[in-house]
Each structure stands twice: as structure tokens, then as C-alpha cells.
Amino acid sequence: MADNYSASIEYARVNSNNTSLAQSNNGDGDGNNLSINEIIASPSSSGKFVSPTTVPSGTTVVCTTDVSGTFQQGQYLFYFDSAAVPTLIGQIASVATTTITLTANIIGNGSNMTNKELGSSYSLITAAESFYIRINVGQIGSSGGSAIYLPNLSEWRVTPSQRESSTVKTSVSEILNYSNIGSPLTIATSPQNVQFKITSKNVFRSANNGQTYFPTASELPRYIWLLATPIPSVGQSTGFSAATMYKFSTNEFMDNAIIVTANTSKTLLYDAGYKIN
């Protein structure tokens, strides 16, 4: 039996904290009081604005209020255009009260930035770095938590039978370089797709000699964690290129999701592309 649900997607770096969460049964650490960290995210609203009267020029961006506690050296600075799309201004060299100094001259036309809201992010990925994708499970109507939706990972893979070695469908999840490769301050005019593969990381609790999983409804997962690993291809580097900004996108609509209850069969999880330990 299959269905669909809309999920919330987060990306995070691989570290010991996140690995502890990823390798738990429920995806939330099984009560170890850890929270996801080193989240890889697009610039978010800061509530700070470029001055309406001082046009950004050279390496200087003047703001309407103190931004010294909002932005940090090394971050990439963006402004949100009239369509609320973040547009790169440059990399931050220093911050002093209302003035942001960049490492190089501003990118684009400074007059387009006046009175626009600012946002920032760190460089997303370094060379050949795998990362985590965290997906929340779907709650089913009036089930009271006794049944949930899980993503069908076979729907993510170009060749489901190849499981962990298959590339991911670009219609499901995609990585494109935002900047030119090796040059984070030049916006790419012809972005390249970076192929990658996924492996599920949750260590599900088994029962009945490993033939079923989740002995009780209280042990159903809250999050599914995937390890995403770049796959080298012709014309690409061996992974992600250092000093490059990348844009991640994942379809939040989980097509043909599986319905999971207590004592779900091993076969259902395996056929849905999960790594069964």
C-alpha cells in the first residue's frame, strides 16, 4: 500500500553529533538530547536592510542599523530582490556597526540593492564532502501515531535495483553549482548538475529475528536520514569543487510513500530502498 505526503527537508554537514542522530532508530537520537547542527541552508531573512540613501559601491555596504551581531567574517552576503530571491553581493571581510566590508568589489549594480533586506550563508560545501539529508516522516490522519508515511527511496533512484550505487533522479533531488566552479564570487551562467547517491542511515529496531521492524508504535521514526555522496562523472571533478557555492533542491512531495506501522515487514523496507542492518 502506498500514498503521498509533503515533507520538510534539511541538509546538514557530517559530524559526530549529526551521525548520532542519523544512526538512531527514530532519527531524533532516541532520547540522547541532541539537536541537528551545522545545517546547510540558503540565506534567510535577517531583518537588516541596506541603506536607502547610500548606494553600495566598491567593497562597502552601509546598512540602516547595527549589523555587527548579525553577520560574520567569511560569510557570503546576499540581498533579497523584489521577488524575494537571494542575490549574491560578495563575501564578508569585516563588520563594524552599520558597515559591511567585502573581500572584493560588490557583484552587480549597487543601486538595485538600496533599501533591500540582507541575508547571509557560509560556503555550502567543500571539496569531495558528503552531507546529510534529513526528512521528516508523514503523520497519517486519525491514526494517533500508530501509522506513518516514510519516503520511498526507490522512487529517488534512477536504477532502484542498484540501491546505494544508483544516481538520484534530478526530478527528486538536485545539486547545481550556484557560482562558477572554483570561484564563489562569480555567479554561474551555465550551472552543472552534480550527480550523487544516497544511503539510508537510520538503524531501525528489529523484532521477530529481524523479520519485522518497530516492535511498538512508539518506536516508529520521526526523521529519516540519508547520506548523500557525490559520484564522479566525465567532465566533473572527483566530487564537489572547493571554493564553489552550490544550490540544493529536493522535491518536498514524497511520491509513492510507504505506510509503516508497528512490526512492519523487513521486505517492505528493503523494497523501498532502505539499508536494513
- Residue-wise pLDDT for 98-146, tens only, equals 999 999 999 999 999 999 999 998 765 655 678 999 999 998 877 677 9
Residue 135 sits in the same domain as residue 199: yes
> Do residues 192 and 254 both lie within one domain?
yes
Same domain (yes/no): 140, 241 = yes
Domain assignment present for 110? yes
Domain that holds residue 98: 60-116
Residue 276 covered by a domain: no
CA-CA distance, 62 to 184, in Å (whole number)?
A: 22
Which residues partner with 262 through β-bridges?
A: none
Q: Are residues 245 and 112 in the same domain?
A: no
pLDDT band at 265 (very low <50, low <70, confident <90, very high): very high
- Please check whether residues 76 and 191 belong to one and the same domain: no
Q: Which residues pair with 78 in a beta bridge?
A: 88, 119
Q: What is the pTM of this model?
A: 0.83
Q: Comparing C-alpha atoms, which of 11, 15, 82, 6 is closest to residue 42?
A: 11
What percent of the chain lies above the pLDDT cut of 70? 92
Q: Among 71, 93, 116, give the residue marking a domain's end.
A: 116
Instruction: Let me know if residue 163 belongs to a domain.
Output: yes
Same domain, 15 and 95: no
Residues in CB range of 230: below 8 A, 6 or more apart: 128, 130, 175, 194, 195, 196, 238, 239, 240
pLDDT tens-digit series, residues 196-249 = 999 999 999 999 999 999 999 999 999 999 999 988 664 455 567 767 788 889
204 and 146 in a common domain: yes
State yes or no: pLDDT of 194 exceeds 60.
yes
Calculate ∠ Cα 17-23-28, nearest 5°: 70
- Same-domain pairing of 32 and 80: no
Task: State yes or no: pLDDT of 264 exceeds 80.
Answer: yes
Q: Give the total number of structural domains in the chain.
A: 2
Average pLDDT over the chain reads 90
| 51: in domain | no
| One domain for residues 36 and 67 | no
Decide which of 75, 98, 116 is a domain's last residue: 116
- What order do you get walking across the sheet with 212-213 strand by strand? 206-207, 212-213, 264-265
Instruction: Identify whether residues 28 and 132 lie together within a single domain.
Output: yes
pLDDT for res 234: 46
> Are 53 and 100 spatial neighbours (Cβ–Cβ below 8 Å)?
no
Report, as an integer, the average pLDDT of 9-17: 93
**Does position 45 have pLDDT exceeding 90, yes or no?**
no
Same domain flag for 130 and 266: yes
Q: Is there a single domain that holds both residue 138 and residue 24?
A: yes
